[in-house]
């Protein structure tokens, strides 16, 4: 009976528009950050190996990737707390202690290079033997973005959800307990694979929603009376979930605005005579009933699609391409409310990893006017020192909205769009 109740729970959870499954796991922007976060991890490793990482979290390359993770919607909110330097406790002890810092770097390097569960677990056991004060399984949130089919995400709500669903007593802060929970999560995922995913983010989201109180866990006892009581409680979930849905409404509005701005850039590029590429995971998204990919390229030109870094290129929000040469004339990343960190990292990834997009290709961060100060502050970070090599500009929403019709009617090339943009940094 317990298995039937869990199956009922997962089916309800998958169909709930406010569940983490719908609002995060199926979110079109989710996968965009994986490559950028992985590239950021490589930078952290390189700096630690070179002895240039420094002795502070603030302003470091580690802060950039952890912030990118923390802004992956509600499930990862607060992911940076475990890495913030707590001076009274001297934790996590990877900033002042060089040996611990190198051990942390070795873990990230090892997990970046390996591809089996046994190797990942070996890396975790190695860091656990170091007994680094304050460096616990919150690191799994980084490892998840390296190996989403091998390492589940980790936070207090996920642990609470796992304990409620299974009756376990997993403790926070223990790698041993994390590995035991991971084994249990893998077993659960195997039992309900048809409703979940090979990507452990799905079951992580289920446990998060249970642990945060959005969905009740089935009773551990399989009596009929307990099952009826639980079903009644589950049926009341939607009527009592207003407190969870305010954030979801904001997310949906953010998605709508992001799509609207993409449609402006799409239409403007077409009007100026460019071929337009819409991010592969956004092509089917509707804006005013029309797919964003309408009238746009169905595939990238062969030279770009096969270039180094093509996985990143195909996820850039909007590309304008020269019709005569099939080369990229300009690239646009829309950053309505998602991480400025991630947008900048994707631009760097795009410009520095592909021979087809040279450093002189104009790049545009398109965002609300109020975010410009934040963008400029982030660009002053040492981790973004290569920005100075790029032709990158800030394009405010207001300027784009006010001038796009005139540019489409009277403009040619990129002169007008550059004129309403602000050079960075």
Q: State the residue for tokens 């969870």.
A: 244
Percent of the chain with pLDDT over 90: 53
What confidence tens digit (pLDDT) does each residue in 401-425 have? 999 999 999 988 999 999 999 998 7
Confidence of residue 244 (pLDDT cuts 50, 70, 90): low
Which has the higher per-residue pLDDT, 297 or 327? 297
| pLDDT reported for residue 245 | 54
Confidence of residue 324 (pLDDT cuts 50, 70, 90): confident
Q: What pTM did the predictor assign?
A: 0.77
Which has the higher per-residue pLDDT, 183 or 303? 183
Q: Are 23 and 253 in contact (CB under 8 A)?
A: no
| pLDDT reported for residue 242 | 52
Strand partners, 414: none
What confidence tens digit (pLDDT) does each residue in 258-283 have? 889 999 999 999 999 999 999 888 88
| pLDDT reported for residue 282 | 86
* Confidence check: pLDDT of 254 > 90: no
* Omega within 30 of 0 (cis) for the link into 347: no
* Confidence check: pLDDT of 188 > 80: yes
| pLDDT reported for residue 58 | 83
Cα distance between residue 288 and residue 311, in whole Å: 28
What confidence tens digit (pLDDT) does each residue in 85-96 have? 998 889 999 999
Confidence of residue 239 (pLDDT cuts 50, 70, 90): low
Q: Are 138 and 177 in contact (CB under 8 A)?
A: no
Sequence-distant (6+) residues with CB within 8 A of 225 are none
| pLDDT reported for residue 352 | 65
Which has the higher per-residue pLDDT, 425 or 194? 194
Cα distance between residue 64 and residue 66, in whole Å: 6
Structure tokens at 345: 């990292």
The rounded Cα 314 to chain-centroid distance in angstroms is 16
| pLDDT reported for residue 138 | 95
Q: Are 82 and 92 in contact (CB under 8 A)?
A: yes
Confidence of residue 247 (pLDDT cuts 50, 70, 90): low
- The domain ranges of the chain are 17-214, 249-423
| pLDDT reported for residue 264 | 96
Q: Which of 37-51, 259-273, 341-355 has the lowest mean pLDDT?
A: 341-355
CA dihedral 78, 154, 251, 68 (to 10 degrees): 60
Confidence of residue 369 (pLDDT cuts 50, 70, 90): confident
| pLDDT reported for residue 240 | 56
Which has the higher per-residue pLDDT, 103 or 307? 103
Percent of the chain with pLDDT over 70: 89
Which has the higher per-residue pLDDT, 242 or 398? 398
């Amino acid at each position: 009976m317990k298995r039937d109740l869990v199956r009922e729970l997962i089916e309800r959870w998958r169909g709930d528009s406010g569940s983490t499954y719908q609002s995060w796991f199926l979110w079109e922007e989710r996968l965009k950050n994986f490559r950028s976060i992985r590239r950021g991890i490589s930078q952290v490793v390189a700096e630690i190996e070179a002895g240039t990482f420094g002795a502070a979290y603030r302003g470091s390359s580690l802060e950039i990737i952890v912030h990118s993770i923390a802004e992956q919607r509600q499930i990862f909110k607060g992911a940076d707390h475990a890495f913030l330097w707590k001076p009274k406790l001297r934790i996590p002890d990877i900033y002042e202690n060089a040996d611990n810092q190198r051990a942390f770097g070795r873990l990230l390097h090892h997990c970046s290079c390996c591809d089996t569960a046994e190797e990942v677990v070996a890396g975790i056991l190695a860091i656990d033997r170091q007994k680094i004060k304050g460096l616990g399984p919150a690191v799994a949130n980084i490892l998840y973005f390296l190996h989403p089919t091998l390492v589940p995400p980790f936070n207090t709500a996920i642990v609470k959800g796992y304990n409620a669903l299974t009756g376990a007593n997993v403790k926070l802060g223990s790698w041993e307990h994390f590995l035991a929970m991971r084994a249990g999560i893998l077993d659960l995922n195997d039992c309900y694979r048809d409703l979940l995913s090979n990507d452990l983010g799905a079951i992580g989201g289920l446990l998060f929603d249970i642990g945060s109180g959005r969905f009740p866990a089935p009773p551990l006892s399989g009596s009929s009376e307990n099952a009826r009581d639980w079903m009644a409680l589950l049926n009341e979930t939607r009527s009592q979930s207003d407190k969870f849905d305010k954030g979801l409404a904001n997310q949906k509005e953010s998605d709508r605005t992001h799509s609207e701005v993409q449609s402006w850039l799409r239409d403007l590029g077409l009007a100026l005579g460019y071929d337009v590429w819409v991010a592969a995971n956004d092509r089917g998204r509707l804006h005013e009933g029309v797919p964003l990919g309408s009238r746009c390229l169905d595939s990238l030109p062969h030279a770009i699609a096969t270039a180094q870094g093509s996985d990143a290129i195909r996820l850039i929000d909007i590309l304008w391409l020269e019709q005569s040469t099939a080369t990229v004339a300009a690239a646009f990343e829309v950053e309505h409310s998602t991480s400025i960190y991630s947008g900048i990292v994707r631009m760097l990834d795009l410009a520095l990893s592909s021979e087809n997009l040279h450093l002189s290709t104009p790049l545009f961060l398109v965002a609300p006017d109020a975010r410009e100060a934040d963008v400029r502050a982030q660009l002053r970070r040492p981790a973004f020192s290569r920005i100075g090599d790029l032709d990158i500009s800030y394009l405010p929403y207001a300027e784009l909205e006010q001038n796009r019709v005139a540019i489409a009617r009277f403009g040619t090339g990129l002169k007008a769009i550059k004129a309403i943009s602000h050079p960075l940094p």
